[in-house]
């Protein structure tokens, strides 16, 4: 099959990902599970090289030869956009496609907590969306930006690797910068974004000290900053930010983070009990006075208790979210246990003891 036929098959099967790797046949990820397409032939190196040459430009091929890694976006008219990663494994290319719909999902479409509508309308501060790879962080941020675009007129600059969902100006003025094509690094792009009169800045990934430091500064100086981290809960998120700095600076950073943080949304995706589709579970930490104080005084280990006791304020722990999804029949107990960082506590929540 040609690559466009495989991408159409991916859409027809509602797969999130397509993997091309020697010596397996094409593999789709459907509802979180890998599904080898055993009716298709096993791939050989020339098959993947042909796909690579078809979907890349000369500049991208040169970049891959230098870096041995490549991230970029690829579009098929009338079908979807795809986030593509190319790497080498055992001397042969491996290509992964992540499907991105042309239509930006809404907060209600994706089943996001309604607090997201309030958060994206905040005038300033730092909002972090976290979770493992493939948990839907980009989709959550895209839905929040779309809500802002529908309801308020602000200058929005996004820095992404690569640009995934395409936003069109409604009430907002939106610029989307692609790492590699439009800028060389998140940190540099963030510095220059501050000179472009932004109201809102989205940082696709806060992956290094320079980016984290500049994001905090941007939030301090009156901008609303959205970012992602590959962390699984609120405690790990705050600790990861603080630990990125040298020990002698961490006390000051705790103070700064406690002042600018607005929320941490930690999410995970899991299959529905029906076997069709997936659902997201969210841990929600909002910047109450208690939360800010625990961050400032280096007592982040107490944050889980605050989340569990502040449900009336819109907060919840991941275990509370998982327990609710189990009680509503949305997910199975087994799937909930796999995602919980404290299965014993979750078991008590589910069974009421």
Domain layout of the chain by residue ranges:
3-100, 115-351
Q: Give yes or no for a contact between 143 and 104, defined as CB atoms under 8 angstroms apart.
A: yes
Residue 234, pLDDT > 80, answer yes
Closest CA to 107 of 61, 45, 149, 169: 149
Q: Give yes or no for a contact between 193 and 159, defined as CB atoms under 8 angstroms apart.
A: yes
Lookup: tokens for 160: 């992404």
User: Average of pLDDT values for 6-31?
Assistant: 96
User: Average of pLDDT values for 316-340?
Assistant: 95
Closest CA to 187 of 166, 168, 157, 208: 208
Please state, rounded to an integer, the average pLDDT across all residues of the chain. 95
**What percentage of the chain has pLDDT greater than the value 90?**
90
d(CA 24, CA 43): 6
Going by pLDDT thresholds of 50, 70 and 90, the confidence category of residue 275 is confident
Residue-wise pLDDT tens digits, 128-170: 999 998 899 999 999 999 999 999 999 999 999 889 899 999 9
Architecture of domain 115-351: 3-Layer(aba) Sandwich (3.40)
pLDDT at 133: 86
Residue 307, pLDDT > 80, answer yes
pLDDT at 181: 83
CB-side neighbour CA atoms (13 Å) of 107? 16
Closest CA to 280 of 89, 32, 20: 32
Residue 352, pLDDT > 90, answer no
Lookup: tokens for 280: 């997201």
pLDDT at 162: 86
pLDDT at 113: 94
The reply to whether 3-100 and 115-351 are identical in fold is no
CA torsion sign, 102 to 108 to 113 to 119? positive
Task: Compute the C-alpha angle 281/263/341, nearest 5°.
Answer: 40
Task: Give the Å distances, CA to CA, from 305 to 3, 68, 284, 290, 308.
Answer: 50, 45, 12, 11, 5
pLDDT at 353: 59
Task: Give the Å distances, CA to CA, from 92 to 17, 44, 148, 198, 345.
Answer: 20, 9, 44, 43, 45
Q: Give yes or no for a contact between 219 and 124, defined as CB atoms under 8 angstroms apart.
A: yes
pLDDT at 276: 86
Q: What is the CATH number of domain 3-100?
A: 3.30.450.90
pLDDT at 102: 87
pLDDT at 244: 96
Going by pLDDT thresholds of 50, 70 and 90, the confidence category of residue 54 is very high
User: Average of pLDDT values for 87-92?
Assistant: 94
User: Average of pLDDT values for 16-22?
Assistant: 97
């Amino acid at each position: 099959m040609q690559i466009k036929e495989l991408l159409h098959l991916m859409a027809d099967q509602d797969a999130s990902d397509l993997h091309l790797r020697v010596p397996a046949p094409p593999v789709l990820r459907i509802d979180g599970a890998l599904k080898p397409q055993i009716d298709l032939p096993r791939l050989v190196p020339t098959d993947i090289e042909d796909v690579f040459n078809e979907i890349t430009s000369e500049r991208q091929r040169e970049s891959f030869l230098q870096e041995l890694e490549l991230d970029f976006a690829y579009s098929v008219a009338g079908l979807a956009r795809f986030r593509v990663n190319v790497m080498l494994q055992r001397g042969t290319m491996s290509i992964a496609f992540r499907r991105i719909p042309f239509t930006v999902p809404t907060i209600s479409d994706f089943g996001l907590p309604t607090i997201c509508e309030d958060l994206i309308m905040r005038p300033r501060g730092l909002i972090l969306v976290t979770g493992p790879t493939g948990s839907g962080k980009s989709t959550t941020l895209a839905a929040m930006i779309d809500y802002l675009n529908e309801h308020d007129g602000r200058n929005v600059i996004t820095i992404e690797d690569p640009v995934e969902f395409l936003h069109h100006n409604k009430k907002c003025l939106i610029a989307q910068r692609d790492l590699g094509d439009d800028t060389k690094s998140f940190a540099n792009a963030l510095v220059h974004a501050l000179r472009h009169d932004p109201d809102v800045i989205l940082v696709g990934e806060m992956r290094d000290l320079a980016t984290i430091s500049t994001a905090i500064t941007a939030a301090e100086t009156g901008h609303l900053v959205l970012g992602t981290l590959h962390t699984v809960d609120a405690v790990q998120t705050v600790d990861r930010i603080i630990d990125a700095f040298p020990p002698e600076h961490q006390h000051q950073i705790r103070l700064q983070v406690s002042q600018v943080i607005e929320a941490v949304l930690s999410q995970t995706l899991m299959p529905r009990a029906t076997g069709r589709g997936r659902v997201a579970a969210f841990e929600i930490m909002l910047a109450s006075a208690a939360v800010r104080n625990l961050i400032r005084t280096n007592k982040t280990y107490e944050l889980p208790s605050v989340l569990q006791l502040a449900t009336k304020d819109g907060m919840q722990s991941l275990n509370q979210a998982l327990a609710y999804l189990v009680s509503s029949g949305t997910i199975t107990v087994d799937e909930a246990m796999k995602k919980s960082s404290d299965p014993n506590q979750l078991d008590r929540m589910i069974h009421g003891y």
